[in-house]
Amino acid sequence: MTEYYIEHQKILVSVDCIIFGFEHNKLKVLIGHRAMNPGKGEWSLYGGFVRNEESVDEAADRTLFELTGLRNVYMRQVGAFGNVDRDPGARVVSIAYYALINVKDYDEKLMKEHGVEWVNIEELPQMFSDHQRMIVRARRLMQEKIRTEPISFQLLPSLFTLTQLQRLYEAVNGEEVDKRNFRKRIKDMDFIEKTDLIDKTGSKRGAYLYRFNKNAYNEASNFKL
């Protein structure tokens, strides 16, 4: 087989997955201690190298599945990180992706197996290489998306209260929202349906549970929150 580009330096390509979850009214990120050198023992995102037979998207899908055991997860590319000195082990360019999952869908056995845990995004420890910068950029992209697409429902259970939804938006954006204005906007959205079910875990009176209607959303012409 003819070899091309042999005069050029070979550079490794990896993927890193920034997995967001929502728990106890906090936006969280799944991180663990790095299992290899360089940086063994440092806090790190979960990732891996792109294989010869894979596209970068396929590598990200595989990496996410290896970590969570979940399929059909909402995932989007964050961008490329390629500073010359970002990895002291070799010249590595990493393509970062962020994914949104419901914390309760993630098997705790897999968490223990991979040595990862959910950490509040506001309390992140010092992390390996540029992983903290990846998380910051991913959150910024999510903040933009959450205003125009219903991605928030990826982080919530199928049935949720309006308070849960409001707390999620506050956690993602890092600031409080006005309760009255928020609920007024929700009422204008036909794809957020009120059910007859009541959640009484927060108080004796309880709160009505809502759900996201995907079909109604697809028929809606505009979405903005």
Q: pLDDT tens digits, residue range 42-65?
A: 999 999 999 999 999 999 999 999
Rounded CA gap, 181 and 195, in Å?
Answer: 21
Rounded CA gap, 140 and 50, in Å?
Answer: 25
Q: What are the structure tokens assigned to 8, written together?
A: 């050029």
Answer yes or no: is pLDDT of 220 > 90.
Answer: no
pTM of full prediction above 0.75: yes
Rounded CA gap, 146 and 157, in Å?
Answer: 17
**Average of pLDDT values for 149-176?**
95
Answer yes or no: is pLDDT of 159 > 60.
Answer: yes
| Per-residue pLDDT band at 225 (split at 50, 70, 90) | low
- Name the phi and psi angles at 125, rounded to 5: -80, 175
Q: pLDDT tens digits, residue range 63-111?
A: 999 999 999 999 999 999 999 999 999 999 999 999 999 999 999 899 9
| Per-residue pLDDT band at 1 (split at 50, 70, 90) | low
**Average of pLDDT values for 123-143?**
98
